[in-house]
């Protein structure tokens, strides 16, 4: 169902890989709500995924960009404004990768060059995106920048590994950059802390199936899906949330405020 929430708005969506990804669902919803978008992903991710299908479906252009490269980001922003015919109203940062996780390195046995690469891709890239947008004065007033995160930034999930540190850093950037973007440009910056979601990235985490089942049993409303996350993101891109900024917004069926659920207790009662 469309509410025309983004009629006439323009934006960039980072990180759509395939139809399971939150960025993919967000691009579809933004299109349905009347927005014009540019899609972007790293060249390697584009080869792995199906971003061309999404571009066709949403009438969007694709600009490849490595989000860790300032040069690529500056080019992306400049070209996007040309294609879309003006400044941007929203940006979604939906990028995360841990080389340590991929290579099976335990948190207590990190390869630090892997750690730095993961931090650059997953966290520092958000600062680079914000800084490039800020310096280019590329955002319209009351625009909205959103990054996706996970509650491992606040609480320990043993197998989430160094991604937990990356997400904590990402959330801090949203607060710090959100201050300057708000003061100087009237732009808001927020993070959405989403339920564990069966995306390509999510499924890379060890023990993911148990993880997602546990979260579902713990959450009074159950886990939030990728499509529901896209819906929530529409509200943050829209003019209905103009004064929401520098927040980490939990979108997790109530998991983050639940101590324990009856379903979980039942599993442990003799």
Answer yes or no: 179 catalytic: no
Residue 169 a catalytic site member: no
Instruction: Give the residue from 230, 231, 213 showing the smallest Cα distance to 222.
Output: 213
User: Which entry of 3, 134, 160, 232 is annotated as an active-site residue?
Assistant: 160
Lookup: tokens for 185: 């440009």
Six-digit token pair at 224? 């939030």
What is the spatial distance between Cα 264 and Cα 87, in angstroms, rounded to a whole number? Answer: 49
Q: Which of the residues 150, 169, 214, 232 is marked catalytic?
A: 150
Give the Cα-Cα-Cα angle 209, 211, 215 (nearest 5 degrees). 120
Greatest CA separation found in the chain? 65
Joined together, the tokens standing for residue 173 give 């950037």
Q: Residues forming the annotated binding site for NAD(+)? A: 15, 21-22, 95, 167
Q: What share of the chain is helix, strand, coil (3-state, %, to 5)?
A: 50, 15, 35
Cα 253 to Cα 268: distance, rounded to the nearest angstrom: 23
Known binding-site residue numbers? 15, 21-22, 95, 167
Sign of CA dihedral 13, 31, 225, 151: positive
Query: Hey, which residues are catalytic here?
Result: 150, 160
């Amino acid at each position: 169902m469309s509410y025309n929430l983004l009629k006439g708005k323009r934006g960039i969506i980072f990180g759509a890989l395939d139809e399971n990804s939150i960025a993919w669902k967000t691009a579809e919803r933004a299109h349905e709500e009347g927005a014009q978008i540019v899609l972007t992903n790293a060249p390697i991710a584009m080869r792995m995924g199906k971003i061309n299908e999404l571009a066709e479906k949403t009438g969007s252009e694709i600009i490849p960009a490595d989000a860790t490269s300032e040069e690529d980001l500056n080019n992306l922003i400049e070209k996007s404004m040309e294609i879309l015919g003006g400044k941007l109203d929203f940006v979604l940062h939906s990028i995360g990768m841990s080389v340590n996780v991929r290579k099976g390195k335990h948190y207590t046995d990190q390869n630090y060059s892997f750690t730095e690469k993961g931090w650059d891709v997953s966290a520092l890239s958000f600062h680079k995106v914000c800084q490039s947008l800020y310096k280019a004065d590329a955002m319209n007033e009351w625009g909205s920048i959103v990054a996706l995160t996970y509650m491992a930034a606040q609480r320990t999930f043993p197998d989430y590994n160094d991604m937990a540190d990356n997400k904590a850093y990402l959330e801090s950037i949203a607060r710090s950059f959100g201050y300057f973007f708000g003061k100087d440009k009237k732009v808001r910056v927020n993070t959405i802390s989403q339920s564990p979601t069966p995306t390509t990235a999510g499924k890379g985490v060890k023990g993911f199936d148990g993880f997602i089942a546990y979260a579902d049993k713990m959450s009074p409303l159950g886990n939030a899906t990728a499509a529901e996350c896209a819906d929530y993101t529409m509200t943050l891109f829209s003019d209905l949330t103009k004064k929401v900024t520098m927040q980490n917004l939990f979108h997790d069926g109530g998991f983050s405020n639940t101590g324990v659920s009856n379903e979980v207790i039942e599993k442990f009662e003799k």
